[in-house]
């Protein structure tokens, strides 16, 4: 299977990384064991402009699925980051402090936002979309916005 699924709209190419899990509000999660790495999708970063500032939740903070996990400030808008999982923030991407543009340049890699030690590793994968399903959802959002 390819590393990314892609679709083109106008002059933009939108990517979805295979093997990750997705929320319908444009976050991705990569769960390995008891830790989830969290980031924003290519669609979210492209539709909101260049990232100027990232303020993730502090290491050690307990978060519940659906609660605020920090902020991203772009040239267009300030976005509240919403946690896609419940647990405790175990690591934040320190590189984003000096290089917030990593979210725009590599949203599925170097632009990850934080890692969360899962409160319920057994049920952590419940309720997420696979890459193929998220791709269809994203296509609908692109068409609606276009």
pLDDT of residue 132: 97
What would the pLDDT profile of 44-69 be if each residue is shown by its tens digit? 999 999 999 999 999 999 999 999 99
- Collapsing DSSP to helix, strand or coil, 40 comes out as strand
Residue 66: per-residue pLDDT? 96
Please tell me whether the overall predicted TM-score, pTM, comes out greater than 0.85 for this model. Answer: yes
Q: CA dihedral in degrees (3, 37, 95, 98; nearest 10)?
A: 100
Confidence at 15, pLDDT banded by 50, 70, 90: very high
pLDDT in tens, 86-142: 999 999 999 999 999 999 999 999 999 999 999 999 999 999 999 999 999 999 999
Question: Residue 68 has which token pair?
Answer: 């605020």
């Amino acid at each position: 299977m390819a590393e990314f699924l892609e679709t083109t709209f106008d002059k933009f190419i939108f990517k979805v990384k295979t093997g990750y899990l997705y929320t319908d509000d444009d976050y991705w999660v990569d769960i390995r064991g008891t830790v989830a790495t969290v980031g924003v999708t290519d669609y979210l970063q492209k539709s909101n402009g260049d990232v100027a500032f990232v303020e993730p939740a502090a290491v050690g903070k307990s978060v519940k699925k659906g609660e605020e996990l920090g902020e991203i400030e772009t040239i267009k808008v300030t976005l509240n980051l919403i946690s896609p999982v419940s647990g405790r923030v175990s690591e934040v991407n320190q590189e984003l402090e000096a290089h917030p543009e990593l979210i725009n340049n590599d949203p599925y890699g170097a632009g990850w936002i934080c890692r969360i030690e899962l409160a319920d590793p057994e049920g952590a994968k419940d309720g997420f979309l696979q890459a193929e399903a998220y791709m269809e959802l994203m296509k609908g959002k692109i068409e609606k916005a276009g």
